[in-house]
A and B are shown apart, each in its own frame.
Chain A
Amino acid sequence: MQPARRRLLYSIILILGFVWILISADRKGISTTGQIPAPQQGFLAPDFALKTPAGETVKLSDLRGQAVLVNLWATWCPPCRAEMQTIENVYNAYKDRGFTVLAVNMTYQDNPLEIMPFVNGQGLSYPILLDETGDMANAYQLKSLPSSYFIGRDGIIDEVVIGGPMAEALLRTRIEEILK
């Protein structure tokens, strides 16, 4: 191709690209996914109301204004068990700054008789919730355990961590982020 034609072609490509950026600018906020509940970063955390082993009901949306870690776990899952104590450490370190943990046990696929002995044995002080029907797991499209959702004060998921056990530094960096 002749150099002059080639330069013209390159210029046209760049001008068209620039026009496309302006045309496809998101002025209506299509990218703002924070209004739709979905278990993904940037979306509103799907709401749930679950019972604790003591029979008390805890609703996620009632915790709006707090930074929340929702951790999905089961007693038969070794990485879940391994990270519970680390979560306890950071819970104690950050709870006074408006941070809480909801550790949702996948009771529908766990042995209910093993849950409280494990929790008491570990000395866990944060709320344990029971998903007895699997509805919460479905809402969070659970595929692997453990799954952790770091939710900001506005109820929007800031980070999803699939798998574990989570290192303490990972928990601390993510919690600092959602406490902002």
Chain B
Amino acid sequence: MLPLFRSLFAPPRHLILLLAALWIGLILAEKRATRHGIPREALNNIVYYSLLGYILGGRLLFAVANLSAFTQSPLSLFSLNIDLFDPLGGLVSALLVGFIYGQRQKLALWPTCDALTPIFGVLWIGLSLAHLAAGTAFGSPTTLPWGIVLWNDTRHPTQVYELIASLLAFAAIWFHKSGPPAGSSFLLFTALTAGARLVLEAFRGDSTLVFGGLRLAQVIAWIVLAAVLFSAEWILGRNEEPIK
């Protein structure tokens, strides 16, 4: 089953999984958008503009970071190569474009984040499947019976762990009673994502290490988790009536 899946969605076909996830996520988010007081059209627009920002920003920032290569071959700027891309720069651009669009349309921040959360949830599922197909985000060697043979060793199936975590997180946000305070769905999803990364990164075999062995992704996930918990406390505290 796994070899068939990996063969079917071998790179670069694994990107189909991400596109399908974006499409399904958008359909699901549209269904729930009005619950959060966000018009469907505004939700669609914010996603499309952010996607455009992701693609253009990612390519342009990559070009700026590698200016000498592009000055010698300027037409490469229009190449269809997806590797000529800065994913972090793309993400920052997408967030910026989405934020600017939201501001111009006078969309409230937290309800918009809540309305977008199903897209993030399905994208995480798609990303886990893409990792499984491409063999990236692989685990460290293990002798556990559920290890999978990957890159010439038996390894923790970290992509499967991630898939299970993403499915559980999606179920949590989908069945989460989204009422006041606004932002609770988004913060719940972010906390679950950060928590999962904090736990599962320990089984990865490709971690970037800092400070004598600490895994960078765990440190970042812990900071994100702390920020989410502080935000949740601030939002909940603001909405609670003072005890009489």
Residue of A nearest to B203 (CB): A24
Please tell me if A96 contacts chain B, counting CB pairs below 8 Å: no
Instruction: Digitize B118-156: 1 where CB-to-A-CB distance is under 8 Å, 0 elsewhere.
Output: 000000000000000001101011000000000111000
Residues of B contacting A166 in the complex (Cβ-Cβ under 8 angstroms): 81, 83
Residues of B within 8 A of A162 (CB): 10-12
Does residue B215 face the partner (Cβ distance < 8 Å to A)?
yes
Interface presence of B44 (CB below 8 A) = no
* Contact call B204/A31, Cβ cutoff below 8 A: yes
Let me know if A26 is at the binding interface, CB within 8 A.
yes
Say which residue of A23, A31, A40, A176 sits within 8 Å of B69 (CB atoms).
A176
Q: Which residues of B contact A37 (CB under 8 A)?
A: 152
- Across the interface, do B202 and A24 meet the contact criterion of CB distance under 8 Å? yes
The answer, yes or no, to whether B226 is at the interface (CB within 8 Å) is yes
**B64-108 interface with A by 8 A CB criterion:** 66, 68-70, 72-73, 75-77, 79, 81, 83-84
The answer for the CA separation of A21 and B225 in the assembled complex, in Å, is: 13
Count chain A residues whose beta carbon lies closer than 8 angstroms to a beta carbon of B.
Answer: 41
Are A30 and B205 also in contact (CB < 8 A) when A167-B79, A169-B84 are?
yes
Structural contact, B83 and A161, CB atoms closer than 8 A: yes
- Establish whether residues B209 and A168, one from each chain, have CB atoms under 8 Å apart when the complex forms: no
**A17-B198 in contact given A30-B140, A31-B140, A173-B66 (Cβ < 8 Å):** yes
Given A31-B140, A167-B79, A172-B73, residue A7 in contact with residue B233 (CB < 8 A): yes
Closest to B194 in A: A17
* Shortest CB distance A102–B (Å): 20
Chain A residues near B84: list those with CB within 8 A: 167, 169-170, 173
A169–B225 contact, CB under 8 A?
A: no
User: In the complex, A17 Cα to B228 Cα: how many Å?
Assistant: 14
Kindly supply a per-residue 1/0 record for chain B positions 147-187, scoring 1 wherever the CB is within 8 Å of any chain A CB and 0 otherwise: 00001110000000000000000000000000000000000
Determine how close the nearest CB of chain B comes to the CB of A167; give it in whole angstroms. 4
Q: How far is the CB of A117 from chain B (nearest CB, A)?
A: 28
Contact A27 B66 (CB under 8 A): no
Closest to A164 in B: B81
Asked whether B11 lies within 8 Å of A26 as measured between CB atoms, the reply is no
Whether the pair B205, A40 counts as a contact (CB closer than 8 A) is no
Interface check A118, CB cutoff 8 A:
no
Docked-complex contact B152 and A31, CB < 8 angstroms? no
Nearest chain B CB to A29 CB, angstrom units: 8
The verdict on A33 contacting B206 (CB below 8 Å), with A17-B222, A172-B69, A173-B69 known, is yes
- The answer to whether A21 and B206 touch (CB under 8 A), given A26-B213, A30-B141, is no
